[in-house]
């Protein structure tokens, strides 16, 4: 993705080419694409902690683990053909650490060659790779040495990032170090529904801190190792991370405890993580947990771009189960998450306050019947357009997901794909949904047009 993608920071819509009142144009060079992660689509990742966790009775909704997933490991060229035909110009993916480094310090030449082929296939189709180095999975040898509670893992991850930058730098300019450190930590170490299935908030805060420190150190390592300009635009590595920004609001605005809990959750889940990569100060504090405070010099200013993952708004209710609920009466997806497009605009403003250009690295709707997704794609795009017009420097949008895939503890229940996949027969042809056509028209036009709205049923 070229550094020139999108309008310069602070540039308003009024200085773009004049819009037809019915057309919302995006800046020249804006990138459109979709996202995946290795474990969720490849299949056969037998050497990581998620594969082992999936064998735990009751761990996965519906009881079906990742297994062969989408067989994307074998079918990546077919899948990229679909995306390219739909006008995608970027694609986010992850490199599976447990494949590349199955044992400490030993890198598998066959797997290295495989990922070169994957990245080359994207480049050949005119799609910019946005590469994530840690998307929730760990090699078993990392998990069995203490995982992300251990400081050794920081060192190991930085070494892995350095290797990848040196090995794949000729094909990759856009690097994402870690994905959603706060989600990773809370799901695995506070709620205990992801590996390693711990229920201890204090340990969860340590994991967030370690992932943030790892990002800061990996940022420096990648810049040292990857000095190749894959795009030929005069810029080498650009490094960021992906942050899940969930909107957290009191269920009962009049209730002081609802407001207080929502405040604490926003502070640790959103604000502290976003701020840490700006000022280098990790300050994580929530009730009933040991605070973590740490200054990390390598973390200060460690953002060439900010990756925003946005899905929903949660209403917070204090001392109640469940602690988070959708707004009463609001449309919800198949996982019970509120579909609230204006939340994307608000989240983009929060991301923009880091001072870094913003890339929407995930946004989508779990919708097996494709009933909500076509309209939501357009409404999310309109919200993003408003944020850009208000001065947020957004460079591109990557829809979650290209394919239906294994959705972690939710198994195969959450269907996010522009293309449907039958997990019982992942070798079968992909099923193109109406939402894929809506997204294709949006990407090709680089605008919300009457044609796009009509395809989404919004004319």
Number of neighbouring beta carbons within 10 Å of residue 132: 24
- How far apart CA 298 and CA 216 sit, in angstroms, is 5
| Cα atoms in the Cβ-side hemisphere of radius 13 Å centred on 78 | 15
The yes-or-no answer on residue 180 being catalytic is: yes
* Nearest 10 degrees: Cα torsion 443, 445, 447, 453: -90
Vertex 385 angle, CA 29 and 271, to 5°: 100
Instruction: Report residue 233 as tokens.
Output: 């635009």
DSSP-derived letter for residue 56 is S
The burial class, CB within 10 Å (0-12 / 13-18 / 19+), for 387 is: buried
Question: How many C-beta atoms surround the C-beta of residue 405 within 10 A?
Answer: 26
Which one of the listed residues 54, 128, 167, 180 is annotated catalytic?
180
Backbone angle region of 96, left / alpha / beta, with phi > 0 → left and psi within -120 to 50 → alpha: beta
Cβ atoms of 204 and 212 within 8 Å: the answer is no
Whether the link from the prior residue into 171 is cis, omega within 30° of 0, is no
Closest alpha carbon to 34 in 96, 80, 102: 80
Helix (H, G, I), strand (E, B) or coil at 305: strand
For tokens 């994580």, what's the residue?
Answer: 284
Give, for 351, the enclosing helix (H) or strand (E).
Answer: helix 342-352
Q: Is 238 helix (H, G, I), strand (E, B) or coil?
A: strand
394 and 358 Cβ atoms separated by less than 8 Å: yes
Reported as type and span, the H/E element at residue 394 is strand 394-400
Which residues share a beta bridge with 305? 240
**Tokens 């870094």 belong to which residue?**
356
Distance CA 210, CA 202 (A): 13
Asked if 129 contacts 172 with a C-beta cutoff of 8 angstroms, the reply is yes
List C-alpha distances in Å: 180 to 95, 208, 243, 253, 296. 16, 9, 5, 28, 19
Q: What angle do CA 360, 27, 387 make, to 5 degrees?
A: 50
DSSP string, 164-194: HHHHHTTT-SEEEEEE-HHHHHHHHHTS--S
Catalytic site positions = 180
């Amino acid at each position: 993705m070229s550094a020139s993608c999108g309008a310069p920071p602070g540039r308003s819509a009024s200085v773009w080419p004049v819009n037809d009142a019915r057309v919302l144009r995006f800046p020249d060079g804006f990138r459109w694409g979709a996202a995946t992660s290795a474990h969720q689509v490849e299949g056969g990742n037998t050497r990581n902690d998620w594969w082992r966790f999936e064998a735990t009775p009751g761990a996965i909704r519906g009881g079906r683990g990742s297994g062969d997933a989408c067989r994307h490991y074998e079918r990546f060229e077919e899948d990229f053909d679909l995306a390219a035909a739909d006008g995608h110009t970027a694609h986010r993916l992850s490199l599976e650490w447990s494949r590349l480094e199955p044992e400490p310090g030993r890198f598998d030449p066959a797997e290295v060659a495989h990922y070169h082929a994957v990245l080359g296939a994207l480049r050949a189709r005119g799609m910019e790779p946005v590469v994530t180095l840690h998307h929730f999975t760990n090699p078993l040898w990392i998990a069995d040495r203490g995982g992300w509670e251990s400081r050794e893992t920081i060192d190991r991850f930085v070494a892995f990032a350095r290797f990848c930058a040196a090995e794949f730098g000729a094909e990759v300019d856009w690097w994402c170090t870690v994905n959603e450190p706060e989600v990773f930590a809370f799901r695995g170490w506070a709620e205990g529904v992801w590996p390693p299935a711990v229920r201890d908030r204090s340990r969860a805060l340590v994991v967030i801190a370690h992932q943030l420190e790892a990002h800061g150190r990996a940022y420096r390592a990648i810049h040292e190792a990857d000095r190749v300009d894959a795009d030929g635009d005069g810029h080498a590595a650009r490094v960021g991370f992906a942050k899940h920004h969930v909107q957290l609001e009191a269920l009962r605005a009049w209730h002081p405890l609802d407001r207080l809990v929502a405040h604490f959750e926003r502070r640790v889940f959103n604000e502290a993580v976003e701020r840490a990569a700006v000022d280098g100060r990790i300050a994580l504090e929530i009730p009933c947990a040991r605070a973590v405070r740490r200054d990390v010099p390598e973390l200060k200013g460690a953002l060439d771009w900010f990756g925003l993952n946005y899905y929903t708004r949660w209403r917070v209710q204090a001392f109640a189960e469940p602690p988070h609920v959708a707004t009463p009466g609001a449309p919800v997806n198949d996982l019970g998450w509120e579909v609230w497009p204006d939340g994307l605009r608000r989240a983009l403003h929060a991301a923009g306050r880091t001072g870094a250009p913003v890339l929407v690295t995930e946004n989508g709707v779990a919708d097996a019947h494709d009933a909500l997704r076509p309209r939501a794609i357009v409404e999310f795009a309109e919200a993003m357009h408003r944020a850009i017009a208000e001065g947020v420097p957004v460079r591109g949008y990557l829809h979650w997901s290209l394919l239906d895939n294994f959705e972690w503890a939710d198994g195969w229940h959450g269907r996010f794909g522009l293309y449907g996949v039958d997990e019982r027969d992942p070798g079968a042809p992909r099923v193109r949904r109406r939402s894929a056509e809506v997204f294709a028209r949006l990407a090709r036009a680089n605008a919300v047009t009457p044609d796009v709205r009509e395809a989404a049923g919004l004319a």
